[in-house]
Copies of this chain bind each other. A is one copy, B any other.
Amino acid sequence: MKILLIGGHGTIGKRVAKAFAERGHDVVIAGRKSGAVQVDITSKVSIEAMYQSVGAVDACICTAGTGFYGPFDDMTAELMMPGILGKLLGQVNLVLEGQRYLNPGGSFTLTSGIAAEHPARNGTCVAMINGAVNSFVLGAAQEMTRERRINAVSPGLVEDSKERYGAFFPGYNLAPMEKVVNAYILSTEGAVNGKILKVYS
């Protein structure tokens, strides 16, 4: 299977890349600055150029994108825009543009996160973005043609982020990397469509 993985050098992405490579797939990594192909997912032009460079794929997985974390009182729509243009509309455009490059039977796998249901303090922007990604997937799954599928993986606080982000998520269980990776495998190699694959612990 030829798999395009956007964000393949991130915390989750590098685990996903390794797992799919070990399973014998041809993984093409796209990243902002690294990877076989460069892409800025906030730009539709850049996404289109990436797909043209990579060509037809059997799966497109996105583990890229983040959003504003900070005090609610100081939050503004401006501070929210990078996340909206990236993790939200970036992933939306990966699907809208990617439809022409995804082979029949192929799948999109987007990444949302636990904040959609259980936001931490200071996490309202990310909550909003993750909730949007989840509901986008529910709608898009119904519109897929030629046996193509789309799902979202919604990870909790992942093990590999414990040191960097753990302090911001008191009381959140760690999501084992193996279970997180398995969700991407289920979405890509399985038959599920329109699922929010929650890996919260």
Q: Mark A107-140, 1 if CB is under 8 A from B, else 0.
A: 0000000011111010111111111111110111
How many angstroms from the CA of A133 to the CA of B93 in the assembled complex? 20
The answer on a CB contact under 8 Å between A124 and B99 is: no
The answer on a CB contact under 8 Å between B139 and A135 is: no
Report the minimum CB–CB distance from A93 to chain B (whole Å): 6
How many angstroms from the CA of A59 to the CA of B73 in the assembled complex? 18
Q: A73-B99, A93-B77, A99-B73 are in contact. Are A128 and B119 (CB under 8 A)?
A: no
Q: Mark A52-90, 1 if CB is under 8 A from B, else 0.
A: 000000000000000000001101110010001000110
Q: A124-B140, A132-B131 are in contact. Are A96 and B115 (CB under 8 A)?
A: no
* A143 in the interface (beta carbon within 8 A): yes
Report the minimum CB–CB distance from A88 to chain B (whole Å): 8
Task: Report chain B residues within 8 Å CB of A143.
Answer: 72-73, 121, 124
Question: Which of chain B's residues has its CB closest to A132's CB?
Answer: B132
The answer on a CB contact under 8 Å between B89 and A77 is: yes
The answer on a CB contact under 8 Å between B124 and A131 is: no
Question: Which of chain B's residues has its CB closest to A121's CB?
Answer: B142
* A14 in the interface (beta carbon within 8 A): no
Report the minimum CB–CB distance from A60 to chain B (whole Å): 16
| 21 contacts across the A-B interface (CB closer than 8 A) | A44-B77, A72-B143, A75-B96, A76-B96, A77-B92, A77-B93, A80-B92, A84-B89, A92-B128, A116-B131, A116-B135, A116-B138, A117-B138, A118-B138, A119-B135, A119-B138, A121-B142, A123-B139, A128-B132, A128-B139, A132-B132
